[in-house]
Structure 1
Amino acid sequence: TFKNRPKTYHNISLFRQIGRNLIIPGGTRTIDATGKLVMPGGIDPHTHFELEMMGAKTADDFYKGTRAAIAGGTTCVIDFVLPQKGQSLLEAYNNWREKADSKVCCDYALHVGVTWWSPAVKKEMQQLTTEQYGVNSFKMFMAYKDAWMLDDYDLYCAMEACAELRALPQVHAENGNIIARNTEKLLAKGVTGPEGHQLSRDEEVEGEAVNRACVIANQANSPLYIVHMMSKSAVRFLQLARGKQRQPLFGETLAATVGTDGSHYRNACFRHAAAHVLSPPLRPDPDTPRAMCEALADDHLQLIGSDNCTFHEKDKELGKDNFAKIPNGVNGVEDRMAVLWQNAVNTGIMDPCRFVAVTSSNAAKIFNLWPAKGRVAVNSDADLVIWDPKLERTISAATHKHAVNFNIFEGQHVVGSPQYVIVNGRVCLDDGELRVVEGKAHYISLRLHPHSERTISRTQTGVHAENGNIIARNTEKLLAKGVTGPEGHQLSRDEEVEGEAVNRACVIANQANSPLYIVHMMSKSAVRFLQLARGKQRQPLFGETLAATVGTDGSHYRNACFRHAAAHVLSPPLRPDPDTPRAMCEALADDHLQLIGSDNCTFHEKDKELGKDNFAKIPNGVNGVEDRMAVLWQNAVNTGIMDPCRFVAVTSSNAAKIFNLWPAKGRVAVNSDADLVIWDPKLERTISAATHKHAVNFNIFEGQHVVGSPQYVIVNGRVCLDDGELRVVEGFGKFLKTPVDSPTVYGETNNHHEEVQHRPDYLDTPTRVTNGSTPSPGMDKHT
């Protein structure tokens, strides 16, 4: 977050307070994050520490590996337990825990590999998913023939077992049989150097396996997570499969993929070339790194890992005369975040919100670490990165924290790195100085994604929160005193009356074990009570404010002109406190409120005059549906309170998710409705009743100058606002049903197979087409 966004206070490993004007205990250290970005600690979903493979053992153990992770901004890693053929999965798991628990500097979790198949393996998978072991994902290999590879039959069985358990299957997608045959042919031709590794497993070999893995997962009715996708072909096949898949597909790429390419395999120095060997290999196409950055930005891929699997030079030399014997693996856990920032954010491909999603929050959601990890929020783990977007450094093996003397990103200049890293409330990177403690962190148990056991459909409750009895009595007293004008409307229902009703509504909802949506929240008091309730509520609370609230205030009720004052009457009323509009913008930006509506309810002047002698008879309502977005942009985005991603969330995507219109509405994606806005952030105009499209001759935002408005609006594929010219057709729209059981509200679905419980509802925040970030509870802003 930028310097004008909330401060955080953490203690005893959890965030305790987030906001402005915090009460900080004496002696608490304060870090000035002015000009920096405050974000959740990175989560690396793919590491290999202390792994034995191909006759060698990785150089980075759990101490050195997690130390390097922290240096780069990662505060949690998920490592892989990889049993040998025939080895008990439980035995292998226990071995990994024994290696890791006393060494880790940051929290860690474990995936478990399924490297052979039998009924005993299936039984152990079930045991591993219990609370005692805390595993919710299993990895299968389609490569490494005669080592870890499963054939399609066993792979199918393993995926079916995952589906039954509600665990997430992962695959290494390469055609192992083709690789084995290509390797034989290349060696027979005398191709023995590292270039042979790349030649034996080209893009086609990866793409075929991605397609096959997706088919098998679909037959098993299982979701699927494909690790370390390294090529444009692989991404293309994943995208094709998504159009047919019954369950979610997740794609991961690596820091190596976005930070370098396969040209290194032809380097004359064996040490240099072999140091880049990993599987699937880096691709020779120089456009691949940018394409993978775009795939991450556009949500074709959801995560970036490191696949950190480092070997000493002497170990790489095991394959000096036979590329097939070079231990596979590269560094990346330390430089993952900086390399992606340099290649995706600094180039304009990706925005910071999406950066946080693919480096942290998406992994937290997919592997069920959310909401403890992957977010900065009260009661989440105090894992925090203060990122300096201007910090310059040159990556080098001479300065990195890995146990090897080679770095595949050697000499790359990056702008943007962590300045401070806080792990479980402890400052472990302190203005560039690393201060870690071996064995200080914990193993994190990964919970399964729960089955839905209910048979009833569920909706949610929306309330207008004001105390009607108090308002009625206040109205009687005011009229008796001769207060009949529009100012009486405001006096009869002040902030306290709204705040009490918000509190009461939350209590009733909690007693009913029901979620709650509070409409048109108009005051700081109302927001404060909503925030207090969130700490106790068993179900989600959503808050909405209005364009009127952020664009004007209650001073208008005392205007001498009845027409003017009455035109501003709505309930709850606009507040006299001139700080309210900014406070409500901040509440939207900080996720204390999740949506902005218009409550558009316009009346002609003659109708408002029904209450000329009695404010209680003034029809309640104002305009807002036309100016809602421009007014918020002017007051929140142009002032630096809110970023454009959050603007999209509160004006569009959050509503789509809460009311179960997602993914048809609220996103720009294949198969979503063709509703699109091309927004010109520099378009200037002055709001006026003389030019607006409402049926009334008054506008509560009259005379306000806004910078930022739509230039084109496309509705259901038809251009309805064409460079400022309105071209609408009466009756062109359609009624939309809003299905019950919103996954955003209830966290699970009933019959909507494309949105199962463990599919994150946030995986759509690309840069060039902005779908916005997502709120909590159940949603989050990512920064």
Structure 2
Amino acid sequence: MRKLITGGRIITAVDDYVADVLIEDETVVAIASRFDVEVDEVIDASGQYVLPGGVDPHVHFRMPFAGTETVDDFTSGTAAAVRGGTTTVIDFPLQSRGTGLIETLDRWHGLLGQDQPMIDVGFHMIVSDLSNGKLDEVPRLVDEGVTSFKLFMAYKDSLMADDSTIFEAFCASADHGLLTMMHAENGGVIDVLVRRALAAGRTSPKYHEATRPAKAEAEAVHSAIAIAEMAGAPVYIVHLSAEESLRHVAQARANGIAAYAETCPQYLFLDNSVYDLPDFEAAKYVFTPPARAKHHQDALWRGLAFDDLAVVSTDHCPFCFADQKRMGIDDFSKIPNGGPGVEARLQLVHDGGVRAGRITLNRMVDVLSTTPAKLFGLFPKKGTVAVGSDADLVIFDPNKRETLSVESQVSKVDYSNYEGREVVGSPTWVISRGATVGRNGKVVGAPGHGRFIKRAQHLQPLTGKVVDTVIRVQP
């Protein structure tokens, strides 16, 4: 099937020009000022941007946590991603202690196969235990296209990995071309602060912020970078939220260390005033790290503008307010940590970043699509508009106004962290491997269109056949 996008302003991380894009089946086959060919469908993109589909390298669908599970599965979560102009996500199989890495991966393939993803999905591997020969499974992980680890320095007695496990993971990353992602907070300090707060009767959601100070993040970021440097491995700091943490990353990069970091919209657009909301409303903003004092936002935007921050992900980790968040009604430490976000990323960054003059259009594409595709072994099949790339495209109307609200969102979660915020700029078409999956805020694609992607190693190009199997579910 041939599809032609005409008259759009093509924006990549480095380009900005008006041209037509010819799609054949799943691939961009030609870009030119004008085509005179027979096609099955013509899309007029005049006056709009043609962007590469968003790549969100940090989502949690079906994630078990704190005695419950994130409310979005691989069907609803990827549909929410479509709504927001994202055409590729990377999720996290979570290794339980004592369980093998391949056994964990097989379990998550089973979960993915039970659902019907709307867009392409890759996997990282959350590691908690590398004892008893589990390191020997790493080459198999690479063969399976899982080329990144994630480890936690927080959540003592559950997800938290000790320093020896972290160091071993970095060494394996160096040996096998993986990128290791670090949740960087000092879990030991936080554990003491939480216990002291609860003993003093401080049980409301506002104490989530008070017990996870920016210094605890900054110390852990510094430690993670130092351990990675000792192992000779690259490091990627997830959901960086604080100015001092960013200084550690910037200094490491200036010293030639392969250190990368992402931030998320919740740290760019929300501040710690949300924890002053009455009753239990602040529980909606119990994500980790917490929202920070407002002055951190300016530092994060500067980090994005000058490449000390490489990526804006979402850490989409949704728990419903009506029941799941209320598990911590009498104890803030029992509120499941996480919030929604996969749906609003592009609109927020365009409105609050590009339109506000904080970053350029090219930089927006870079942090939302191109750089995550490069870092996680998806480029150039994903993350750009180029001949030979997957036809993952977003046609974006920069002047279309929309009010963000739970009433119009696709995610199963029962609230929006940006309720009532007006944004300017919205996707009008979302195309995944040549198929229209989103149209004017509606998800119109076929469930099951999404595929599992085997990713290349860190910073290596993804070429040739990029999919493993189509996820098929019996009706």
TM-score, normalised by the number of residues in structure 2: 0.91
1:443 counterpart residue number: 452
Cα deviation for residue 349 of structure 1 reads: 0.7
Cα deviation for residue 262 of structure 1 reads: 1.9
Per-residue CA deviation, residues 94-141 of structure 1 (Å, 9 max, x unaligned), is 1211111342100010000111221422112222111xx211100011
2:56 counterpart residue number: 44
Amino acid at match of 1:112: M
Amino acid at match of 1:445: K
Per the alignment, do residues 110 and 305 of structure 1 end up closer, same or farther by CA in structure 2, a change over 3 Å counting?
same
Cα deviation for residue 164 of structure 1 reads: 0.7
Indicate if the aligned counterparts of 2:236 and 2:262 stay in contact, CA closer than 8 A: yes
1:255 counterpart residue number: 265
1:21 aligns with 2:34: yes
Indicate if the aligned counterparts of 1:116 and 1:148 stay in contact, CA closer than 8 A: no
1:2 counterpart residue number: 9
1:238 counterpart residue number: 249
Indicate if the aligned counterparts of 1:256 and 1:282 stay in contact, CA closer than 8 A: yes
Per-residue CA deviation, residues 206-232 of structure 1 (Å, 9 max, x unaligned), is 000000000000011111111110111
* Residue ranges of structure 2 left out of the alignment (5+ in a row): 1-7, 11-16, 462-475
Cα deviation for residue 433 of structure 1 reads: 3.2
Per the alignment, do residues 105 and 332 of structure 1 end up closer, same or farther by CA in structure 2, a change over 3 Å counting?
same
> Counterparts of 1:421 and 1:432 in 2: how far apart (Å)?
9
1:72 counterpart residue number: 84
1:6 aligned counterpart, secondary structure: strand
In the alignment, which of 182, 188, 197 is matched to residue 208 of structure 2? 197
Indicate if the aligned counterparts of 1:82 and 1:92 stay in contact, CA closer than 8 A: yes
1:433 counterpart residue number: 442
1:62 aligned counterpart, secondary structure: coil
1:183 aligned counterpart, secondary structure: helix
2:364 counterpart residue number: 355
Indicate if the aligned counterparts of 1:9 and 1:24 stay in contact, CA closer than 8 A: no
> Counterparts of 1:380 and 1:758 in 2: how far apart (Å)?
15
Where do residues 140-155 of structure 1 align in structure 2 (5 Å cutoff)?
A: 140-155=151-166
1:77 aligned counterpart, secondary structure: strand
Where do residues 732-771 of structure 1 align in structure 2 (5 Å cutoff)?
A: none
Indicate if the aligned counterparts of 1:85 and 1:148 stay in contact, CA closer than 8 A: no
1:265 counterpart residue number: 275
2:44 aligned counterpart, secondary structure: coil
1:338 aligns with 2:347: yes
Indicate if the aligned counterparts of 1:194 and 1:266 stay in contact, CA closer than 8 A: no
Per-residue CA deviation, residues 581-600 of structure 1 (Å, 9 max, x unaligned), is xxxxxxxxxxxxxxxxxxxx
1:120 aligns with 2:133: yes
1:105 counterpart residue number: 118
Per-residue CA deviation, residues 487-506 of structure 1 (Å, 9 max, x unaligned), is xxxxxxxxxxxxxxxxxxxx
Indicate if the aligned counterparts of 1:293 and 1:343 stay in contact, CA closer than 8 A: no
Indicate if the aligned counterparts of 2:19 and 2:34 stay in contact, CA closer than 8 A: no
Indicate if the aligned counterparts of 1:104 and 1:442 stay in contact, CA closer than 8 A: yes
> Counterparts of 1:2 and 1:320 in 2: how far apart (Å)?
49
1:398 aligned counterpart, secondary structure: coil
> Counterparts of 1:371 and 1:147 in 2: how far apart (Å)?
37
> Counterparts of 1:269 and 1:422 in 2: how far apart (Å)?
42
Where do residues 767-782 of structure 1 align in structure 2 (5 Å cutoff)?
A: none
1:297 aligns with 2:273: no
Amino acid at match of 2:405: S
Amino acid at match of 2:96: Q
1:212 counterpart residue number: 223
Cα deviation for residue 287 of structure 1 reads: 2.6
1:565 counterpart residue number: none
> Counterparts of 1:139 and 1:178 in 2: how far apart (Å)?
21
2:410 counterpart residue number: 401
Amino acid at match of 2:9: F
Amino acid at match of 1:405: D
2:451 aligned counterpart, secondary structure: coil
Indicate if the aligned counterparts of 2:118 and 2:437 stay in contact, CA closer than 8 A: no
1:175 aligns with 2:186: yes
Cα deviation for residue 148 of structure 1 reads: 1.3
> Counterparts of 2:303 and 2:255 in 1: how far apart (Å)?
19
> Counterparts of 1:187 and 1:334 in 2: how far apart (Å)?
34
> Counterparts of 1:243 and 1:71 in 2: how far apart (Å)?
37
Indicate if the aligned counterparts of 2:435 and 2:445 stay in contact, CA closer than 8 A: no
For structure 1, which segment, 353-362 or 15-24, has the greater mean C-alpha deviation from structure 2 after superposition?
Answer: 15-24
In the alignment, which of 62, 70, 75 is matched to residue 58 of structure 1? 70
Indicate if the aligned counterparts of 1:80 and 1:110 stay in contact, CA closer than 8 A: yes
Task: Please give the root-mean-square deviation of Cα atoms over the aligned residues, in Å.
Answer: 1.5
Cα deviation for residue 325 of structure 1 reads: 0.9
Identity across aligned pairs (percent)? 37
1:316 aligns with 2:303: no
2:470 counterpart residue number: none
1:443 aligned counterpart, secondary structure: strand
Indicate if the aligned counterparts of 2:215 and 2:244 stay in contact, CA closer than 8 A: yes
> Counterparts of 1:307 and 1:222 in 2: how far apart (Å)?
23
In the alignment, which of 274, 278, 302 is matched to residue 283 of structure 2? 274
Cα deviation for residue 427 of structure 1 reads: 1.2
Per-residue CA deviation, residues 349-388 of structure 1 (Å, 9 max, x unaligned), is 1110000000000011111111100011111101000111
Indicate if the aligned counterparts of 1:258 and 1:339 stay in contact, CA closer than 8 A: no
Per the alignment, do residues 298 and 311 of structure 1 end up closer, same or farther by CA in structure 2, a change over 3 Å counting?
same
Amino acid at match of 2:29: R
> Counterparts of 1:439 and 1:288 in 2: how far apart (Å)?
40
Amino acid at match of 1:12: D
> Counterparts of 1:402 and 1:432 in 2: how far apart (Å)?
13
Cα deviation for residue 267 of structure 1 reads: 1.2
For structure 1, which segment, 2-11 or 436-445, has the greater mean C-alpha deviation from structure 2 after superposition?
Answer: 2-11
Amino acid at match of 1:260: L
In the alignment, which of 86, 99, 105 is matched to residue 93 of structure 1? 105
> Counterparts of 1:404 and 1:433 in 2: how far apart (Å)?
17
Indicate if the aligned counterparts of 2:253 and 2:308 stay in contact, CA closer than 8 A: no
Indicate if the aligned counterparts of 2:130 and 2:165 stay in contact, CA closer than 8 A: yes
Indicate the structure (1 or 2) with the bigger Cα radius of gyration. 1
Indicate if the aligned counterparts of 2:264 and 2:313 stay in contact, CA closer than 8 A: yes
> Counterparts of 1:62 and 1:143 in 2: how far apart (Å)?
26
Cα deviation for residue 332 of structure 1 reads: 0.5
2:261 aligned counterpart, secondary structure: strand
The number of residues matched between the two structures is: 446
1:428 aligned counterpart, secondary structure: strand
In the alignment, which of 5, 20, 25 is matched to residue 12 of structure 1? 25
Amino acid at match of 2:452: Y
> Counterparts of 1:331 and 1:235 in 2: how far apart (Å)?
24
1:81 aligned counterpart, secondary structure: coil
Amino acid at match of 2:147: N
> Counterparts of 2:72 and 2:47 in 1: how far apart (Å)?
34
1:661 counterpart residue number: none
* Residue ranges of structure 1 left out of the alignment (5+ in a row): 450-756, 760-783
> Counterparts of 1:320 and 1:125 in 2: how far apart (Å)?
41
